[in-house]
Amino acid sequence: MDLKQLAKEIRKDIFKTAYNGGSGHLGGAFSCVEILVSLYFSVLKYDKNNPLWKYRDKVIFSKGHGCLALYSVLNKIGYISKEQLNSYCKLNSNVGGEPKYMELDGVEATTGSLGRGLSFSIGIAIANKLDKIDSKIYTILGDGECQEGTVWEAVMSAGHRRLDNLTVILDYNKLQAMGNIDEILNLGDIKKSWESFGFFVYEVDGHNIDKLIEVLKDNLNNKIEKPRLIIANTIKGKGISIMENQPIWHYRLPSEKELDIFLNELEMTKEELFL
């Protein structure tokens, strides 16, 4: 499968879904498309026909507000139907702006109130060890999210317990809701701090699918007895020129005027938008 093409389609789906649902955190969703595509279409172990397969790898989508990216990928692997996706934020739908545990196939945790996914992942990682289940846990974390104290309680705990079945992927787009992370509450040296708490750290271009897959595979074969962090350098709003690196696009939909730019750059027609 051409994963670059797939990433393109997913961006269209995210935008279309948000636009028709009247709401969506586009910036944060667009920033993690390649991360999710690489993960779901290379190393992740799951059963297409049985989302609850006991030995599945689990993805904990901690930066819940970006969930349209997750939902669109879950749609591509067949867990969420097109109808479900299209029902996003409509009356009586169970598809909304933040993920809820088990509400949709493939949604393994309630997130959205930020800073909780990593601790939840630790619970799963420990349970897998207790039950001798050789499956992996992948936690998708926002960089702004790392300002929550709970994240650091979790980092220490994962390192201390040497949870080598746990991989955190940091969507490192350098922006939070109100602006640049460095200006609001700087995260320090991420690599050094996580390493000092016992993580093995990779760094990669978070929009380069080949490189991401290379790292994910390397990580899978890496037998070191430590939890892992993949710092994925990303661009918030990646793919739409007016959205890239602009804080204002954290939670906003385009105006009538801006819509043309979106459609142009996504290479989709207005008809497609409402299809």
Ligand X SMILES: Cc1ncc(C[n+]2csc(CCOP(=O)(O)OP(=O)(O)O)c2C)c(N)n1
Give CA 7 to chain center in angstroms: 13
Q: List strands edge to edge, sheet with 228-233.
A: 58-61, 137-142, 166-172, 228-233, 200-205
Q: Does 207 bind ligand X (CB under 6 A)?
A: no
Place of tokens 């397969």: 53
Candidate residues 76, 136, 207, 250; the one interacting with other proteins per rule CB under 8 A: 250
**33 to 72, contacts with other proteins by CB under 8 A?**
64-65
Contact 143, 187 (CB under 8 A): yes
d(CA 64, CA 109): 9
Number of residues that bind ligand X (CB under 6 A): 21
Q: Does 115 bind Mg ion (CB under 5 A)?
A: no
What is the pattern of x (binds ligand X, CB under 6 A) and - over residues 65-104? xx--------------------------------------
Candidate residues 176, 219, 229, 235; the one interacting with other proteins per rule CB under 8 A: 176
Q: Which residue's C-beta sits nearest to ligand X?
A: 142
Rounded to 5 degrees, what are φ and ψ at 201?
-115, 130
89 binds, among Mg ion, ligand X, other proteins, none (CB under 5 to 8 A by kind): other proteins
d(CA 249, CA 242): 9
Question: Can you say whether residue 23 is alpha, beta or left, with left for phi > 0 and alpha for psi between -120 and 50 degrees?
Answer: beta
Q: Does 142 bind ligand X (CB under 6 A)?
A: yes
Place of tokens 């996580």: 194
d(CA 114, CA 62): 7
Q: Does 144 bind ligand X (CB under 6 A)?
A: yes
- Piece of 38-46, 179-187, 235-243, 263-271 that binds other proteins (CB under 8 A): 179-187
Q: Does 239 bind other proteins (CB under 8 A)?
A: no
Q: Which residues bind ligand X (CB under 6 A)?
A: 27-28, 31, 63, 65-66, 112-115, 142-145, 171, 173, 175-177, 236, 250
